Structure 1
Amino acid sequence: MLQKASLLMHNIHTHRSHGTAADEIISRSTHFDQSVTLPQCSLGLHPWYLDDAEVQWKALLEYADRPNVLAIGECGLDKACDTPWEIQTEYFEKQIALANTLQKPLIIHCVKAYQECLLLLKAAKVPVVFHGFNKNTETAKMLLARGYFLSFGHQLLKESYADTFREIPVTQMCFETDDQPELLIEDVYKRAAEMLNFPLDALILQIEKNYQNIFRYAR
């Protein structure tokens, strides 16, 4: 299902199509039935939106095994939201198990809960991507040691994040636009290449290799 082309830029996590030539994976946390019209997407129960968790879970089960669904997520844990903790952990565990069953990678949303996420992710047998990563080097190294991937977006526009970003191996990077309507994935790639002092074409090719590693089951 993954598109293949030379020097194709991948957007691993976006909430809307930007209408560019980039390869986009559109994230859906509700209305999973609408995913059938998308070329490729990720589906998951976001910790913010678990008011009707069991209804949503049944809908996720119905649509998650479709070939255009490349990943499960975004899902995870968030200590800054109002959703009861036990509900968050229950459905995060369920989605980890679902990803294992379907052999699809996990796209992780994590806020102030990295230790708890890591504990539950011990059960994951598929590639794991922490989206929108903007934490410090210590947290990054903790995730990288597990072999997880870190996805970066608008935080790269901040010069203050440059030192941390340069500590991340390019072999464990992805890029995204998330919910930023004016941000183009092309600009994220260019900014990353500048910060790393890395040739843009070489960076694009490396991220392509990363994608093949992440989505090895979904091709």
Structure 2
Amino acid sequence: MSDTAVDRPDLVDSHCHLDRLNLDAYDGDFDAMMAATRADGISHMLCIGVDLETFPRVRELAERHADVHATVGVHPLYKDSREPDADELVRLADHPRVVAIGETGLDYFYAKEQRDWQRDRFIEHIRAARRTGLPLIIHTRGAKEDTLALLREHGEGEVRGVLHCFTEDLDMAEQAMALGFYISISGIVTFRNAEALRDTVRQVPLERLLIETDSPWLAPVPYRGKPNEPRYVARVAECVAELKGIPVAELAALTRDNFYTLFNKAAR
């Protein structure tokens, strides 16, 4: 077993982009990457859709692999993607391997001049989540007030989900949790300059935590600067477990159970 494994491995990577991984380390062999991931104790992966054009590939990976499920949505920074509407998202989500709506949300850090269409697109995803009853996977950066306001206005207490790759403040986490959302932590938590995030993680209840890689981006220390991959979620687990003062195996089990509680369409 490699150096990324935990004592009792049973980890879930709650957010990864399997269709976009850099497979150079595996000579381009996707199945070899999956075998290495499983060998390191990752028992399930959620492959995230970011646009409608590549959604068929995301869905196909989930159809091929029993330990992979998929989502459907359009990322707020993928402006050139075909515009989604709630009807189409609902139709595409009507598939046994599709377990959530998203990735969606608001990013005012990289696209602060494009707020109107981001909000309109986000509303369509919220509506789809309400109609399907599926969780909503949210990307939010520099858009705290609008993200929470739109969830309240258009979710109307009927939408649950996760703030993925969380880097905002504790107040946002608490308000999101009050709305029924989970907080997902990526490899950013291992970065030297992420002390504010580590302070937030210490205060988020264990029953609302998820862990992820967001691979192929944001590889955790000691892999920072290299292509990320799902098996590195073990490093995220180790860091979060240390912050929470519990064994890694316990953190792995808790976040695994949280995953299946939230994404209850996914079979264990």
TM-score (norm 1): 0.86
Q: In the alignment, which of 166, 180, 184 is matched to residue 133 of structure 1?
A: 166
Partner Cα separation in structure 2 for residue 115 and residue 100 of structure 1: 21
Q: Determine if contact 1:76/1:108 at 8 Å carries over to the other structure.
A: yes
- Larger mean Cα displacement after TM superposition, 182-191 or 147-156: 182-191
Within-5 A mapping of 1:62-141: 62-82=91-111, 84-122=114-152, 123-124=154-155, 125-141=158-174
Structure 1 residues 100-130: Cα deviation after superposition (integer angstroms, max 9, x where no partner): 2122101001111111111111233232100
**Residues 1:36 and 2:59 aligned together:** yes
**Residues 1:154 and 2:187 aligned together:** yes
Deviation at 1:199, TM superposition (A): 1.4
Q: Determine if contact 2:48/2:58 at 8 Å carries over to the other structure.
A: no
Provide structure 1 residue ranges, at least 5 long, that are not aligned to the other structure. 1-5
Structure 1 residues 47-98: Cα deviation after superposition (integer angstroms, max 9, x where no partner): 11133443x5476455222111111111011112347322111111111111
Paired position in structure 1 for 2:220: none
- Structure 1 runs of 4+ off > 4 angstroms? 56-62
Within-5 A mapping of 1:173-192: 173-179=209-215, 180=217, 181-182=227-228, 184-192=232-240
Partner Cα separation in structure 1 for residue 228 and residue 82 of structure 2: 31
Paired position in structure 2 for 1:169: 205
**Residues 1:26 and 2:42 aligned together:** no
- Larger mean Cα displacement after TM superposition, 75-84 or 128-137: 75-84
Structure 1 residues 2-51: Cα deviation after superposition (integer angstroms, max 9, x where no partner): xxxx9521111111265212211111212112123122112211111133
Q: Determine if contact 1:41/1:71 at 8 Å carries over to the other structure.
A: yes
SS at match of 1:216: coil
TM-score (norm 2): 0.72
Partner Cα separation in structure 2 for residue 142 and residue 42 of structure 1: 24
Q: Using the aligned pairs only, state the percent identity.
A: 28
Aligned residue type for 1:210: N
Aligned residues: 213
Aligned residue type for 2:263: F
Query: Quick check: which has more Rg, 1 or 2?
Result: 2
Q: In the alignment, which of 184, 194, 213 is matched to residue 242 of structure 2?
A: 194
Aligned residue type for 1:143: A
Q: Determine if contact 1:74/1:108 at 8 Å carries over to the other structure.
A: yes
Aligned residue type for 1:11: D
SS at match of 1:188: helix
- Larger mean Cα displacement after TM superposition, 82-91 or 198-207: 82-91
Paired position in structure 1 for 2:77: 48
Q: Determine if contact 2:72/2:98 at 8 Å carries over to the other structure.
A: yes
Deviation at 1:171, TM superposition (A): 0.5
Partner Cα separation in structure 1 for residue 245 and residue 256 of structure 2: 19
Deviation at 1:168, TM superposition (A): 0.9
Change (3 A) 1:88 1:176: same
Paired position in structure 2 for 1:3: none
